Amino acid sequence: VVAPKTVLIVYAHQSPSSFNAAAKDVAVQTLTAQGCEVIVSDLYAMNFHSSATAADIKGNLKNPEHFLYDEETFIAWKEDRLSDDIKEEHRKVAQADLIIFQFPLYWFTVPAIMKGWMERVLTQGFAYTLQTIYDNGNFKDKKAVLSFTTGGIESMYLPDGINGDINVCLWPLQNGVLRFCGFQVLAPQIFWCVGHTPPSERTAMLEAWQARLNGMLDEQPLSFAPTKLFDLSFQAGFRLRSDIKEAYASQPYGLTTGQHLGKPFPPNNQTKSAPHDKQ
């Protein structure tokens, strides 16, 4: 018997009548109907603290004169002295096979309350160590996906659009946060310009989301540069191996949005999975 999958939805919108709430509800209903256990962290309803402070640690600090959040929380994690709200989110993340982040795009990134969740919950030790990042990450057996609404229309986020390439916008979140911790990052679900979309089209957007959710757990993740392509030492500077650079010298595109090597970005590198591209 295959154990049911667990899905955590980290949700950030203030209004239960919002499109984000509807997208969250569709995910809960669709995944529950598949037999998944679905957990929702409704960050605004929880009044989740967005600031990373010494209040996240129970007991004495190692160095109260010079507070370093990541070092102090790493020690507190090892000694089981983190605040109860962080420990509760750790419990949810540990259970989850898939995490869906549902939010409106604020200033080209996640809302502050969700950024606070990332800063506080993705604790050193629990989510990563210097030895366990990217391909070797703690969460390499888990999947994650960004599902979000935008204020602008899709063409504004094209390479020649006024807002710039959406692939550039997504790189810090998808590579710098999620893949850094080892997640298999699925292609984002982007709901373009929902505020100026007629109700019939919003319904169609939710139906497309529902259809995708029915197969999401089997999706191929986005393509990132494998860790083995880099010289993993301070001496070498954690840079691409010279033979890899030479191999890409004749290629029309760079390796990824981040490691573009001065070339055009690979098309849709941060927005569409490329299962054929094993690199």
Residues 162-179: pLDDT tens digits?
999 999 999 999 999 999
Q: Which CATH superfamily is domain 6-221 in?
A: Flavodoxin domain (3.40.50.360)
What pTM did the predictor assign? 0.95
Q: Is the pLDDT of residue 7 over 60?
A: yes
Helix (H, G, I), strand (E, B) or coil at 8: strand
pLDDT band at 44 (very low <50, low <70, confident <90, very high): very high
Q: What is the CA radius of gyration of the chain?
A: 20
pLDDT digits (tens, 9 = 90+) for 115-161: 999 999 999 999 999 899 999 999 999 999 999 999 999 999 999 99
Helices (H), 108-267: 112-121, 166-173, 199-213, 242-248
Mean pLDDT of 47-51: 97
The CA angle 139-144-146, to the nearest 5 degrees, is: 145
Give the DSSP H or E segment for 74.
helix 69-78
Q: Where in the chain is the domain with CATH 3.40.50.360?
A: 6-221
